[in-house]
Amino acid sequence: MNVLTLVPSRYGYSPGQRGSIELWEQVLEPAGIKLHYAPFETERLREILYQQGYQLTKAWEMIRGYVERLQLLKRLEEFDAVFVYREAALLGPAVLEKMIAKRGLPIIYQLDDPLYIPYKSPANGYLSYLKFFGKVADICRLSKVVIVNSSHHREYVAQYNQNIWQIPSIVDTRKYVFQAEPANGDGAPVCVGWSGSPTTVGNLRVIAEPLRQLQERVEHRLYLIGGTRFDLPGVEYEAQAWRAETEVEDLRKMQVGLVPLPVNEWNKRKFYMKVAQYMALGIPPVCTPLGSNPEVVEHGQTGFLADTDEEWIEYVELLVRDAELRREMAARAAREAQAKYSLAANAPKIVEAFRAAVG
């Protein structure tokens, strides 16, 4: 089974792709399902897409990507199915998906972000509205199989398609291996950490005041990954840019993981992969109870859900002070991640979902 695999990003760069189709390849290929990747973005577009400015260059690179897509569709007879990750093109309506469906090829559609919710990108401004947010419904209708990673997306897709497979975003447990915190510690302050990207650094402002108060209440170090400058007045922290090659090593420095989120319609529906990564490594997460977090985190058992400043302070301080609780919660979180968010746990369903498209 040869599957044309239409993805937005170049191989190895997108967290979403790495936690889904690029990892699924390990179980699909042995099952006789061969993926043929075709990223939409050019190398230049990858470099500038999430930077401020460059609007004309971005527009030109988008056009180049679209033309390459049209050329690729002339070769559809070489494939048995087409996999679409999020959308076939970064801008415009579902024209390419309609062309594929018209040719009679089954579409396997993966929706792992609430792309049906209008939003304005901090880097691209009103260009975001050229994404045609309504096209997600069209793609769902056109698809033979729709794969979603949360109950929120499943509820949305069910309006347009009944062949839905719910497969969570997964962690590469070959790399994300649990290592228990030593019972006697190493004498260093407990590390409370956050990991994100330049587009999500603003999320930390949700807990700016709790972080300031925590520094006065309990000894710890605050370690932030994903940027070098954060708007956190009165808060001392260490910070670094995110690096794919050292991601696991960097995360291992943490004993408590933070996932603060502003309340908006997008965040209410998003699956937060970072929570599963924290858990797989045995880092108890403290999260805003939005999106997938209440489904992934068992409050008080594998992490904490914090909805107010007082709760953020209480739960983070508790984990910093109580080493035994922290170690017990870490072990439970790692077992839960292995049981639900590993490739091995989801392999049969992944293969069955692809076969369902051509069966």
Determine, yes or no, domain membership for 184.
no
Nearest CA among 305, 277, 278 for reference residue 291: 305
**Residue with tokens 């679409």, as numbered in its chain:** 84
DSSP 131: G
Segment among 67-71, 121-125, 173-177, 279-283 with least mean pLDDT? 121-125
Q: Give me the mean pLDDT over the 205-228 stretch.
A: 96
**pLDDT the model gives residue 92:** 86
Determine, yes or no, domain membership for 272.
yes
Q: Which residues pair with 81 in a beta bridge?
A: 3
Q: Percent of the chain having pLDDT more than 70? A: 91
Is 184's pLDDT higher than 80? no
Indicate whether this model's pTM tops 0.75: yes
Judge if 154 and 61 occupy the same domain.
yes
pLDDT class for 124, splitting at 50, 70, 90? very low
pLDDT class for 344, splitting at 50, 70, 90? very high
Judge if 151 and 207 occupy the same domain.
no
**pLDDT the model gives residue 281:** 98
Distance in angstroms (rounded) separating the CA atoms of residues 352 and 158: 19
Ramachandran assignment for 352, one of left (phi > 0), alpha (psi -120 to 50 degrees), beta (any other): alpha
Strand segments (E) across 177-291: 191-195, 221-225, 238-240, 256-259, 285-287
Q: Give me the mean pLDDT over the 255-259 stretch.
A: 98
Please report, in angstroms and rounded to a whole number, the separation of the first and last CA atoms in the chain: 11
CATH number of the domain residue 48 falls in: 3.40.50.2000
**pLDDT the model gives residue 123:** 47
**Residue with tokens 């069955």, as numbered in its chain:** 352
Distance in angstroms (rounded) separating the CA atoms of residues 298 and 290: 13
Judge if 274 and 292 occupy the same domain.
yes
Segment among 1-15, 286-300, 317-331 with least mean pLDDT? 1-15
Judge if 156 and 267 occupy the same domain.
no
Judge if 80 and 14 occupy the same domain.
yes
**pLDDT the model gives residue 91:** 81
What are 320's two structure tokens?
């910093």
What are 329's two structure tokens?
């919660």
Distance in angstroms (rounded) separating the CA atoms of residues 22 and 110: 13
Distance in angstroms (rounded) separating the CA atoms of residues 145 and 357: 6
Q: Which residues pair with 7 in a beta bridge?
A: 39
Judge if 253 and 211 occupy the same domain.
yes
Determine, yes or no, domain membership for 231.
yes
